Structure 1
Amino acid sequence: MSSHRPAPPSPTTDPDRYAPSAVAVQPRDMANASNNRKSTSPLSTLAVNVARLPDGPINALCGASAGVASGIVTCPLDVIKTRLQAQGSFRPRKYAGPTRAVYKGLTGTARVIWVEDGLRGLYRGLGPMLLGYIPTWAVYMSTYEATKDFLNPQMENKWLARTLASVAAGGCSTLVTNPIWVVKTRLMSQVSARASEEHRPPWHYKSTFDAFRKMYAKEGIASFYSGLTPALLGLTHVAIQFPLYEYLKMKFTGLEMGQADAKASDIHWFGIAAATVLSKICATSATYPHEVLRTRLQTQQRSLPSQSHDNISFQGGQHGIGHQTRPPGTSSSDGMINMPRYRGILKTCTVILQEEGWRAFYNGMGTNMVRAVPAAVTTMMTFEGLKLVHQKFKNEGKRIQEDDL
C-alpha cells in the first residue's frame, strides 16, 4: 500500500465541495452590503450626485467662488487703484489754480483714504464688486472651458484655440456685467465730503442700489455701458493672460487649466502660482492704458440736459462754438448742449495726453500690479483647488456607481 495518498482537499481551495454558500458567497455578499452602506452615507451621495453633473455648471460655480475670494482679499487695493486712475478727471476745465495730486502712490493714497473715510473707505464698492465677480467669473470660466473643448478637436494650434476661447469668454462676461462694474467704479471713485471741490465727483451714492437708481433716473440706461469700448479692448488682456497661463502651467506641472492629477493627493500649488504671476505681469504690462481709459469714461457723469434741474450736464464739460470752457455747476449761457470731456477712445486719449501727459495713461499701474497679481493668484488657486475637489468627488462617485452595478 502506498504511503503517498493525496491529501484531502482544503476547504479554502475547494469551495465547490465545502459549503460554497457559506465560504465563497458570503464574503461577496458582505462586500456588497458594505458598499451599499457606504453608498448611502452623505458624502457618498454627494459624490454620486457630483459625478452626474455636467462640467459647465461646475466650472461656473468654481469660477464664481474664485472671483468672490479674490474680491474680498484685494478690495482695498482696487479702491486705491481706482482713485489713482480717476485722479484728474474731476478737475474743472476752467480751474486756474495749481495742479496738485492728492493721491500719491500706494501708501500715500491709502493714508488719505484712511484719514478721510476710515476702513469703510477702503472697502467702498465691495458690494458691487462681489455682485460683479459672481457672474463675471461664472460666465468666463464656463464659456472658456466650453469654447476650448469645442475648438481643440478642430484646430491643431492649441495656442490659437486658447486665445479665441479667452476672447469669446471675455466678450460674453464683459457684455453681461459691464453695468455692475460701472457702478463699482463710481462708488470706488467717490471721495469724502471733506475732499476739495476739484477732486470731488458730481454725484453721491449711499449704496449700490442707490447708485443704480440715481444713474438710471438722471443719466439713462446708456450710463451703465460707459467705458464699454475700452472694456472690450481689455479682451487683449485675457487673450494674453490665459493662453500664457495654460502654456506655463503645462511647462511647470504637465497639466492644463482645471486639470488635476488623478494619482496625486495634492495640487501643484507652486507651479500654479508661478504660472499665474508671470502671465498676469505680462498681460497687465502690455494692456494697462485701456484700464485708465475705461475708468475715465465710467466715472464721467452723463446727466441729460432735459433731466437736469438747470440743464447742467457733464461736470467740466465743453459747450458752444470752439468749446469754450466754464466752471462746473453752471448752466450753458447760450443754451447749447454741454458736451462731455471724454468722447470715445481717440478723443479721450487726446484729452488726457494734452492735459496730463503720457504718464497719466499709467496712473496707478504700480498699485494695480500689487492688486492684480494677488487677485489673480487667489482666483486661480481657488479655481484649481475647487476643480481638484470636484475631480475627487467625481472619481469617487463613478467608483460607487460601478460597484453598485
Structure 2
Amino acid sequence: MSSAIKSSGTPGITPLLPVLRHCKYEHFVAGISGGVVSTLMLHPLDLIKTRFAVSDGHSRVGPQYSSLKSAVVQIVRSEGVKGLYRGVTPNVLGSGGAWGLYFFFYNSIKAWIQGGNSKKPLGPSLHMFAAADAGILTLIVTNPLWVVKTRLCLQYMDDKHLPETLKYKGTVDAIRKIYRTEGFRGLYRGFVPGMFGVSHGAIQFMVYEELKNWYNNYLNAPIDTRLNTFEYIFFAAISKLIAAASTYPYQVVRARLQDHHHNYNGSIHCVQSIWRYEGWRGFYKGLSANLTRVTPATVITFVVYENVSHYLRERTMDQERALPILIKNIEENT
C-alpha cells in the first residue's frame, strides 16, 4: 500500500512536497528587510506617484499637481509633512510582506527547478516562469493591503463631502469599512490589472538574474557567486528600469480602480475612459515620479536582500557544520 501511494502520489499534496523541500526562511526574512527599508525611505514618492496616476484630467477630483516639486510643496502646505506619509502603514506591511513572499516563492520554485543545485543556470524562460508564479501567489495574499494603501494615499484634507464609510482613520478601519460596504470583492479591486502586473516582476527578475549569470560567466565564476554592492546596484537598476517602462500602464489602471473618488465598471471601462479623455499619455501619468521612486527603491531592496540572505545562509551553513562537532563533543563527555 505504501509503495502504491509513493508511486501514484496524493493529488494536490505530493506534487507540492518537492517544492516545500526547497523552502528557505532566509529568503523570506531578507525580502522583508529589503522591502521595509526601501518603503520607509521612499514612501512620499510612492504617494505622489499614486496621486498623479488617478488625476484623470476631467473630473477635477482632488488636488491637481503640475510637477513633482509642486506636489511636494502643495501636500506639505495643505497637509503638513505628515501628509507625505499617508498610507505608510499598509505600504510597509504590503511592501515588506510582498517582497518577503516574492523572494521566498521565487527562490523556492527556482531551487525546485534546479533540483537543489544553485549553480545550474535556468535561462530566461524558466526565470520568467518562476517569477510569474511567485508574483501570482504574492498578489493573492497582498492585494487587500494595496487597496487600503491606495485609499489612504488618496485621502485629501478637503474630503469632508465624502460619506463616513469612505473616510478611513487607519489601516484596520479601512479594511473594516471596505469589507462592510463593498464586501470581499472590494478588497480585491485592481486584482485583474494586478495580474497583468505579474509580467513586471517576471521581466525584472529575468533581466536581473540573466545579468548576474552573464557577469559571473564572464568572470568564469559559479552563477551563485556573491557580487559586490556596486554590481548589485547596477544590475537591479537596469532590470527595474526595463520592467517599469514596459509595464507601467497597468499600475495606472489599478490605481484608478482602487481610488474611491472614481467609479469605473471594470478594467475595460477604465482603459476606455483613460484613452477617451487622456489619450496614450494618460497611461503613463506619474511615470517620472514612479521611476524616481522605484529605481532607488529596487536598488535598496535588492542590495539589502542579497546581503541579508547571504549572511543568513552562511550563518546556517556554519551552524550545520558545527552541529556534528558539537554532537561528537557531547558524546565524548557523557
Smaller-chain TM-score bracket: 0.7 to 0.9
The reply on whether 1:284 has 2:247 as its aligned counterpart is: no
Secondary structure of 2:318 counterpart: helix
Residues 358 and 381 of structure 1, relative CA distance in 2, 3 Å threshold: same
Q: What is residue 151 of structure 2 aligned with on the other side?
A: 186
The reply on whether 1:365 has 2:333 as its aligned counterpart is: no
Residues 356 and 364 of structure 1, relative CA distance in 2, 3 Å threshold: same
Per-residue CA shift, 1:275-321, capped at 9, x if unaligned?
000000000000000000000001146xxxxxxxxxxxxx6xxxxxx
User: Identity over the aligned pairs, expressed in percent?
Assistant: 32
Q: Distance in 1 between matches of 2:154 and 2:268?
A: 23
The reply on whether 1:80 has 2:48 as its aligned counterpart is: yes
Q: Which amino acid aligns with 1:163?
A: M
1:253 CA displacement: 4.6
Q: 1:379 aligns with which of 297, 301, 306?
A: 301
Whichever of the two has the greater Rg, that structure is 1
Give the number of the structure whose residues are more often helix, by fraction: 2
Q: Distance in 1 between matches of 2:163 and 2:58?
A: 6
Output aligned runs, 1:39-118, within 5 Å: 56-88=24-56, 91=59, 102-118=64-80
* Mapped contact 1:105–1:364 kept (Cα < 8 A): no
TM-score computed with the length of structure 1 as normaliser: 0.68
* Mapped contact 1:90–1:201 kept (Cα < 8 A): no
Secondary structure of 1:360 counterpart: helix
TM-score computed with the length of structure 2 as normaliser: 0.82
Q: Distance in 2 between matches of 1:79 and 1:370?
A: 12
Q: Which amino acid aligns with 1:246?
A: E
Q: What is residue 191 of structure 2 aligned with on the other side?
A: 228
Secondary structure of 1:386 counterpart: helix
Q: Which amino acid aligns with 2:194?
A: A
Q: Which runs of 5+ in 2 are unaligned?
A: 1-20, 329-334
Per-residue CA shift, 1:238-284, capped at 9, x if unaligned?
11000100111223355789x454xxxxx511110000000000000
Q: Which amino acid aligns with 1:58?
A: E
Q: Which runs of 5+ in 1 are unaligned?
A: 1-52, 262-266, 302-314, 316-339
Per-residue CA shift, 1:307-339, capped at 9, x if unaligned?
xxxxxxxx6xxxxxxxxxxxxxxxxxxxxxxxx
Output aligned runs, 1:125-144, within 5 Å: 125-144=87-106
Q: What is residue 5 of structure 2 aligned with on the other side?
A: none
1:210 CA displacement: 1.6
Residues 269 and 382 of structure 1, relative CA distance in 2, 3 Å threshold: same
Output aligned runs, 1:11-50, within 5 Å: none
* Mapped contact 1:136–1:173 kept (Cα < 8 A): yes
Secondary structure of 1:91 counterpart: coil
Q: Which amino acid aligns with 2:134?
A: A
Aligned residue-pair number: 301
* Mapped contact 2:147–2:188 kept (Cα < 8 A): yes
Q: Distance in 2 between matches of 1:123 and 1:393?
A: 36
Q: Distance in 2 between matches of 1:402 and 1:273?
A: 38
Structure 1 window deviating more from structure 2 (63-72 vs 157-166): it is 157-166
Secondary structure of 2:158 counterpart: coil
Q: 1:347 aligns with which of 266, 269, 283?
A: 269
The reply on whether 1:121 has 2:83 as its aligned counterpart is: yes
* Mapped contact 2:26–2:313 kept (Cα < 8 A): no
Secondary structure of 1:274 counterpart: helix
Q: What is residue 166 of structure 1 aligned with on the other side?
A: 131
What is the RMSD computed on CA atoms of the aligned residues?
2.9
Per-residue CA shift, 1:93-115, capped at 9, x if unaligned?
xx9xxxx9711221111111111
Q: Distance in 2 between matches of 1:77 and 1:380?
A: 19
1:55 CA displacement: 5.1
Q: Which amino acid aligns with 1:271?
A: E
* Mapped contact 1:86–1:299 kept (Cα < 8 A): yes
Output aligned runs, 1:142-291, within 5 Å: 142-153=104-115, 158-193=123-158, 203-253=166-216, 259-261=224-226, 267-291=227-251
Residues 200 and 379 of structure 1, relative CA distance in 2, 3 Å threshold: farther
